[in-house]
Amino acid sequence: MKQAIFPGSFDPITLGHYDIIKRGVTLFDEIIVAIGVNSNKKYMFSLEERKKFIEDTFANEPKVKVVTYKGLTVDFCKEIGVEFILRGLRNPADFEFEKAIAHTNRDLAPIETVFLLTSAQTSYIASSIVRDVIRNNGDYTKLVPNSVRVK
């Protein structure tokens, strides 16, 4: 089975993430959406909320699994036997940042990173922008899947 991890904090999942995952399931037998836990980071949504947003979004997609992990993504890949990391690229800055991480990961383990360009309709969306829209009482619903709702 060809599996890929799609790692991130998903605070919250955006339509850009959704696009990459939906396109990723056409390339892999299973996409493991891996929510990284970083105790030094302050999140808007709890780990449980972020996990539920993703699970609800992909409830009808059996090829998507949602897990949480701590530590290096490459170590988690080795731990669960996954050889591919899936990443989305929005712009040239993303490419340069992700390229450095991909090279480092390949130095640490036999893990390949597969990049997908985000669709033109979602290339401007970032979780940080969504959080800012939410903080300022804007209409965030155009930027996230329907499962993401602020209480």
Which of the residues 52, 78, 90, 99 is marked catalytic? 90
Which overall architecture, per CATH, does domain 3-142 show?
Answer: 3-Layer(aba) Sandwich (3.40)
> What are the pLDDT digits (tens) for 62-116?
999 999 999 999 999 999 999 999 999 998 888 999 999 999 999 999 999 999 9
Catalytic residue flag (residue 103): no
Active site residue 127: yes
Give φ, ψ of 10 to 5 degrees.
50, 55
Q: What is the pLDDT of residues 33-72, one digit of tens each?
A: 999 998 788 999 999 999 999 999 999 999 999 999 999 9
Residue 33 to residue 126: CA distance in whole angstroms? 17
Tell me: the pLDDT tens digits for 114-151?
Answer: 999 999 999 999 999 999 999 999 999 999 999 998 87
21-25 own/partner pairs: CB under 8 Å, 24+ apart: 21/58, 21/64, 22/61, 23/116, 24/86, 24/116, 25/61, 25/63, 25/64
For 118, the token pair is 């985000």
State the amino acid at position 39 in one-letter form.
Answer: S
Catalytic residue among 17, 50, 51, 87: 17
